């Protein structure tokens, strides 16, 4: 019972004991190949190990594209301050602590090596941000309101590797120059240091000892001990002592009659309430017309418990010397046990405004602000009234809360970002920075229909090289949903900033097609037009109509006529086959194909399937700007001895091999298109 009491009591341990148990006996320290030293704690079995972060791992957060989350932006205007101008800087940065994936993998291997394969890395220690200001920024510049009129932090240290701490400040011109000097000039450290304060809990094995409690002593000496307690608490205060004695004597019989255990423990609680009332702490409820109720704060219960230990009603003895830290935890654990065994918690009633308006002693208000403890009936006291017992304390683990701190200076952090224009830059607010122009992209009308069958989306990247400062870069993606919601036009806004020549911008478009193909693979930059750019897809739609005389085919013993086509699509030669099957009774077939914008036509041939002779493939031919094909059957095909028939027969046998053959090369000058 006591093991559970110590392990899961209210000793600041509710979160850690039930989630992550760290054993002081399984503490190890490891060094990674990069020189980083890591302290780890294992669980009670030494199987799962949890690491404490290192100050060297306190670093800038990163966006998804890898850009550090750090901004030091200096700004100025042409006007002086007395003319309405402004000068200064903005500092904004996010910090996190974590090990890199490579460090985690290496640490896991070293844990296994250290524990002979018995342990593994299970993650970071559950850190609890310290009460109060767990995240502090130490800076003579940022904390000076004359130099940094606005200064904000997240205020709380991140408790996990995924959490972040934030610092933000707006500095005036002197603060900006001073901070920039510590950043950029020769110096050992900058004027910004970060301090993260945490607590975590480990289990420490207690020394051997024993606990003795003698409730029979209370039964025989209870009333005398109650008098002694009042005398001890009010020594040197005769008036308060007499009031307390009168209060106790008036109410002790009510407690005795209600519980039938003499003065015992209940008498001490009545004495405690009498002391409170004598000195002005009137939180007790007194008699309610039924069973007598005591009602005192936790501090008073603690005082009674200390009195019991002084009189050896409760006695803790140890076989070896304990440190103050462990002894305090043991004492608190047994007090919690005592509190739970003899009291039930009540919560204070609100203090009225009228009560606050009168002269009330300070201790009274403090006492009423505490949770308080009382009992109605005597079940708890009766169950503990005559027990004398000694408990041997062995193999008990105590939860010990430890302080942990990470401290880092921003010198090395700034060195990593000082050359990154996304992190450190300057602007002139008088420049035409606030002038904007819209860049319009209009999807070709015919292309809108292709989003149903061929096009997934188009992504347009835009850049504008400024004469100074950061280049403008942006992108927009247009898909079917965008067209339905916004229509065929997409726009980006370009801010002129420090650019003195805003007349030219460049763009490049890349199309995603069905099947996941991106075209072109490496799009080139194209100069844009401020009036707008029409986005035409790289392919265009052709609706091919293929027709045949079914009666003619049937009379000639032909069961199927197939239009075999070759055309350029995304610069490559592709093939499509459109069949007409006589038995289906459909003489005209329509099919949509997509060819390159630059191609004017396609190559085609007829492949007839004869019920007896098999496939008969005619020679290739080409069509330009004509999407209608009729399945004309040459009369020579009816003569099985003719040259045309025999050539068609041989070509039909080679159809599968011909699919790998390039056909369009000999028609390229006629139909155009193809890769360059």
What is residue 377's predicted lDDT score, i.e. its pLDDT?
A: 39
Report, as an integer, the average pLDDT of 13-31. Answer: 71
What is residue 18's predicted lDDT score, i.e. its pLDDT?
A: 45
Q: What percent of the chain is modeled with pLDDT above 70?
A: 76
Q: Report whether 461 contacts 508 (CB < 8 A).
A: yes
Report, as an integer, the average pLDDT of 49-56. Answer: 90
| Confidence band, pLDDT 50/70/90 cuts, at residue 591 | very high
Residue 146 lies in a domain: yes
Q: Do 225 and 200 lie in a common domain?
A: no
What is residue 375's predicted lDDT score, i.e. its pLDDT?
A: 41
Residue 554 lies in a domain: yes
Residue 662 lies in a domain: yes
Q: Is 90 exceeded by the pLDDT of residue 641? A: no
CA distances from 18 to 14, 25, 158, 199 (A): 7, 19, 21, 16
Angle at 75 between CA 70 and CA 76, to 5 degrees: 170
What is residue 379's predicted lDDT score, i.e. its pLDDT?
A: 42
Residue 412 lies in a domain: no
What is residue 448's predicted lDDT score, i.e. its pLDDT?
A: 63
Residue 597 lies in a domain: yes
Q: Do 515 and 558 lie in a common domain?
A: no
Q: What percent of the chain is modeled with pLDDT above 90?
A: 20
Residue 676 lies in a domain: no
Q: Report whether 119 contacts 42 (CB < 8 A).
A: yes
Picking from 502, 537, 572, the residue at the C-terminal end of a domain is 537
CA distances from 51 to 15, 22, 43, 126, 427 (A): 18, 10, 12, 9, 43
Q: Do 137 and 77 lie in a common domain?
A: yes
What is residue 354's predicted lDDT score, i.e. its pLDDT?
A: 41
Q: Is 70 exceeded by the pLDDT of residue 356? A: no
Residue 402 lies in a domain: no
What is residue 546's predicted lDDT score, i.e. its pLDDT?
A: 93
What is residue 304's predicted lDDT score, i.e. its pLDDT?
A: 86
Q: How many domains does the chain have?
A: 4
Q: Do 518 and 574 lie in a common domain?
A: no
Residue 428 lies in a domain: no
Least confident of 73-87, 102-116, 256-270, 284-298: 284-298
Picking from 184, 205, 226, the residue at the C-terminal end of a domain is 205
User: Domain range for residue 66?
Assistant: 2-205
Q: Do 244 and 371 lie in a common domain?
A: yes
| Confidence band, pLDDT 50/70/90 cuts, at residue 429 | low
Least confident of 31-40, 218-227, 516-525, 560-569: 218-227
Q: Sort strands 601-610 and 588-596 into parallel, antiparallel or unpaired.
A: unpaired
Q: Do 71 and 134 lie in a common domain?
A: yes
Select, from the ranges 31-35, 151-155, 489-493, 516-520, the one with the highest average predicted confidence (pLDDT): 31-35
Q: Do 101 and 213 lie in a common domain?
A: no
**CATH classification at residue 469:** 2.60.40
Q: Do 158 and 262 lie in a common domain?
A: no
Q: Do 501 and 644 lie in a common domain?
A: no
Residue 496 backbone dihedrals phi, psi, to 5 degrees: -65, -35
Q: Do 311 and 384 lie in a common domain?
A: yes
SS3 state at 365: helix
Report, as an integer, the average pLDDT of 212-236. Answer: 84
| Confidence band, pLDDT 50/70/90 cuts, at residue 410 | confident
Picking from 480, 509, 537, the residue at the C-terminal end of a domain is 537
Report, as an integer, the average pLDDT of 88-94. Answer: 88
| Confidence band, pLDDT 50/70/90 cuts, at residue 360 | very low
Q: Do 29 and 11 lie in a common domain?
A: yes
The candidate with the shortest Cα–Cα distance to 552, out of 613, 614, 605, 631, is 631
The residue with greater pLDDT, 554 or 334, is 554
Q: Do 237 and 126 lie in a common domain?
A: no
């Amino acid at each position: 019972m006591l093991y559970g009491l110590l392990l899961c009591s209210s000793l600041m341990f509710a979160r850690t004991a039930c989630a992550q148990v760290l054993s002081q006996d399984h503490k190890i320290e490891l060094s990674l190949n990069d020189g980083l030293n890591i302290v780890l704690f294992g669980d009670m079995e030494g199987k799962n190990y949890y690491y404490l972060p290192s100050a060297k791992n306190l670093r800038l957060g990163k966006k998804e594209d890898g850009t550090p989350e750090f901004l030091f932006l200096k700004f100025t205007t042409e006007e002086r301050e007395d003319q309405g101008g402004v000068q200064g800087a903005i500092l904004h940065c996010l910090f996190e602590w974590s090990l890199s994936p490579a460090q985690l993998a290496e640490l896991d291997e070293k844990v296994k090596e250290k524990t002979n394969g018995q342990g593994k890395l299970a993650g970071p220690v559950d850190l609890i941000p310290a009460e109060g200001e767990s995240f502090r920024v130490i800076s003579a510049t940022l904390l000076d309101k004359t130099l940094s009129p606005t200064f904000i932090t997240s205020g709380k240290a991140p408790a996990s590797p995924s959490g972040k701490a934030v610092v933000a400040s707006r500095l005036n011109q002197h603060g900006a120059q001073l901070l920039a000097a510590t950043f950029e000039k020769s110096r050992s450290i900058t004027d910004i240091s970060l301090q993260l304060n945490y607590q975590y809990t480990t289990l420490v094995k207690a020394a051997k000892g024993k606990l003795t409690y003698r409730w029979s002593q209370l039964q025989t000496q209870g009333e005398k001990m109650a008098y002694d307690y009042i005398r001890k608490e009010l020594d040197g205060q005769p008036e308060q002592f007499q009031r307390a004695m009168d209060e106790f004597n008036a109410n002790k019989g009510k407690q005795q009659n209600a519980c039938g255990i003499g003065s015992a423990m209940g008498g001490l609680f009545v004495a405690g309430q009498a002391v409170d009332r004598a000195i002005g702490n009137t939180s007790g409820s007194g008699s309610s017309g039924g069973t007598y109720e005591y009602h005192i704060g936790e501090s008073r219960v603690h005082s009674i418990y200390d009195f019991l230990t002084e009189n050896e009603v409760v006695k803790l003895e140890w076989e070896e010397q304990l440190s103050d830290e462990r002894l305090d935890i043991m004492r608190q654990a047994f007090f919690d046990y005592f509190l739970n065994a003899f009291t039930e918690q009540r919560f204070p009633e609100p203090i009225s405004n009228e009560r606050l308006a009168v002269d009330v002693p300070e201790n009274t208000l403090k006492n009423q602000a505490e949770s308080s403890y009382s009992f109605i009936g005597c079940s708890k006291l009766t169950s503990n009234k005559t027990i004398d017992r000694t408990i041997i304390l062995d193999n008990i683990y105590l939860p010990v809360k430890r302080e942990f701190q990470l401290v880092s200076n921003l010198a090395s952090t700034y060195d990593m970002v000082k050359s990154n224009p996304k992190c450190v830059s300057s602007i002139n607010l008088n420049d035409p920075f606030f002038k904007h122009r819209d860049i319009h992209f209009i999807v070709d009308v015919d292309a809108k229909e292709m989003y149903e069958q061929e096009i997934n989306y188009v992504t347009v990247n835009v850049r504008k090289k400024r004469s100074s400062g950061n280049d403008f870069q942006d992108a927009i993606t247009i898909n079917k949903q965008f067209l339905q919601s916004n229509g065929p036009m997409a726009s980006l806004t370009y801010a002129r900033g420090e650019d003195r020549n805003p007349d030219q911008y460049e763009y490049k478009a890349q199309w995603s097609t069905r099947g996941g193909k991106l075209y072109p693979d490496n799009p080139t930059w194209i100069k844009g037009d401020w009036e707008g750019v029409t986005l035409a897809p790289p392919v265009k739609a052709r609706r091919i109509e293929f027709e045949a005389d079914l009666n003619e085919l049937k009379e000639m013993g032909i069961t199927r006529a197939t239009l075999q086509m070759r055309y350029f699509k995304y610069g490559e030669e592709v093939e499509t086959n459109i069949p007409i099957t006589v038995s289906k009774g459909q003489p005209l077939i329509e099919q949509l194909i997509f060819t390159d914008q630059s191609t004017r036509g396609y190559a085609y041939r007829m492949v007839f399937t004869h019920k007896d002779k098999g496939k008969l493939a005619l020679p290739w031919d080409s069509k330009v700007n004509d999407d209608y094909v009729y399945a004309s059957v040459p009369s020579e095909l009816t003569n099985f001895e003719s040259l045309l028939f025999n050539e068609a027969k041989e070509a039909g046998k080679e159809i599968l091999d011909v699919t790998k053959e390039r056909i369009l090369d000999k028609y390229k000058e006629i139909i155009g298109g193809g890769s360059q």
